[in-house]
A and B are shown apart, each in its own frame.
Chain A
């Protein structure tokens, strides 16, 4: 386990090289204040737009990185949109999802009777997973997914096809907006075990610098925007 003597030695070497003492209150206050303020740095103008435009930008940017996007008017339209997507891609009508309140309350049986829903973490046999993103970032068409029983992290990576639902109201302009949302939800100086920023499907350029999709994570990323 961790050895406090080694820790102290390395911190002491840092201080020696920087020619500072351990008890400098001014430095300490500078650090505490900066963390407490967590002030945004320069935020690009690109996504500082009215909300409707942010949703449009989110869609454009997501499609630019090979995500596919559809919009539905209401929550109740999601089950049919999922079933339609699976049919269009010739995928089995079987989906794995977590205990997300939004996904749980959708009228699956009524609107998509052929769809089989399995709840829980990803199984290596699963071909399709369904998640609900916490925030969408318009700047780069990025989905922010947070770990927990509602949306287990393995669903984002193990199956070859990932469907993500997000409400238009959950789409914001910038990453900074996402951090502020999480601070408001969970408190200061804390994050869930995993925060995944997902921008398009898995890819690699490791063979002769040519981009191939579906390296280890999902080959397809399909986003359903509710009310967008």
Chain B
């Protein structure tokens, strides 16, 4: 559960991931589970791409007026009897939550799925304060049992297979008959339902994230499928919402436009089972719902992204589409990225939040195939921003010496076209002759990593430019 970053070990992490058979088996579910379903949902809504344009514009407008929408939002939360807690850092946000827990002498808190909670490392702070945090989203519950972090922002246990989960349940739920049948997924789901039911009822406080905050009404929104978030926030006496500053939208209509994209992009559903709008604590005459409603607003470096080259990243609605469609994510999974947010969105966001020194490798985890930008419902130019980070990594001399000298050498020739043509012409002829008759090289000096897994095809003997010139007379 520790969220100490290991992003600087990205290369080592990926090497392990690629040979991890369990992980590779689990990741093979991603294309059918997410990619195909998204494509079908998109095809069923002719307006899908036009909605993406509008969603982008809504967020751009909101970010440009973020201070004022927060003023409107906060006034509405206060008017409905709720409290807003402003926190600059993850530590401050943890303290705010722990204080609320202490003021209610809370012993158990249930939690809906929240990536902000992961970013805060909240569970460790709660445990330290003597409060037991219980993750209630099935995937989150499973990884909490295993002491792991989520490997995907909407499917936290996507790196696991059924047999691993069965083993975890048998090891943890020791009060149940050992001979019970847990072969089917349905049996595992039912067992978790029974176990967590007692936790829902016993909890003193419920903590959820927020997919959006709405300035018009001072409302927080959660989008879920299991119903755990709703039990988390409607049964205990206190509901705490965790949100980072980019979650704001102006109106219910604006939230609606984004909701039309969120589930379709993420899970490929037209709409998630439960979309819940919460405004303040229970009202006079309400027989259920929390007596207190707190919203913890966390900055954690995001105000610095406003007005910067990375502002557009603040449009992200955490649907997970860029992870699902990324060939690198599909190959190595989420843990290799070494911090809370994996995949293309993580490769852009993580260096902003924890620094390019720690996370400088992540923007290199891209083939620049462009699928992430193609599927992003908020039209975030992820490849461009990854390139931007790469440039900064280079400028700050964070890339390895061989890469730097190689690039400098290439740049020297690239800036001198005549010399470049001469050198490439020589290389093409030389490699052609060197390869001899079989047309391929099995090893190549300075490119051993590449030829270890494949042969280098022999050049034709003349460069492309030379052939082109010849063809066109």
Contact = CB atoms under 8 A, between A and B. Distances in A.
Contact of B297 (A1, A10, A175, A190): A10
Given A152-B287, A202-B225, A11 B155 contact: no
Nearest to A32: B72
B139 interface: yes
Interface stretch (B193-201, B368-376, B424-432, B450-458): B193-201
Interface in B263-295: 267, 269-283, 285-289
Interface stretch (A35-43, A79-87, A127-135): A35-43
Contacts of B467: none
Interface size class of A (residues with CB under 8 A): 35 or more
Top 6 closest A-B pairs, CB basis?
Answer: A217-B227, A209-B33, A215-B226, A17-B306, A206-B139, A13-B303
A47 to B, nearest CB: 11
A35 B276 contact: no
A142 B58 CA distance: 24
Nearest to B268: A205
Interface of A: 1-3, 6-7, 9-11, 13-20, 22, 27-28, 30-32, 34-35, 38-42, 44-46, 61, 65, 98, 120-122, 124, 140, 142, 147-149, 152-154, 156-158, 175-176, 179, 189-210, 212, 214-218
Give the interface size class of chain B.
35 or more
Contacts, number: 275
A191 B279 contact: yes
A179 B252 contact: yes
Please report whether the interface of chain A is mostly helix, strand, loop or mixed according to DSSP: loop
A153 B230 contact: yes
B261 to A, nearest CB: 11
B71 interface: yes
B438 interface: no
B308 to A, nearest CB: 7
A217 B64 CA distance: 39
B307 interface: yes
A31 B72 contact: yes
Given A15-B67, A205-B225, A42 B257 contact: yes
Given A10-B299, A42-B54, A140-B270, A217 B226 contact: yes
Nearest to B100: A1
Interface string B242-263: 0001000011111011011000
A152 B286 CA distance: 7
A37 to B, nearest CB: 8
A65 B272 CA distance: 10
B216 A38 contact: yes
Contact of A196 (B219, B230, B257): B230
Nearest to A29: B68
Contact of A203 (B32, B271, B273): B273
A11 B215 CA distance: 15
Interface in B31-81: 32-34, 45-47, 50-51, 54, 58, 61, 64-72, 74, 76, 80
A42 B50 contact: yes
B253 A176 contact: yes
Most B-side CB within 10 Å, residue of A122, A190, A209, A218: A209
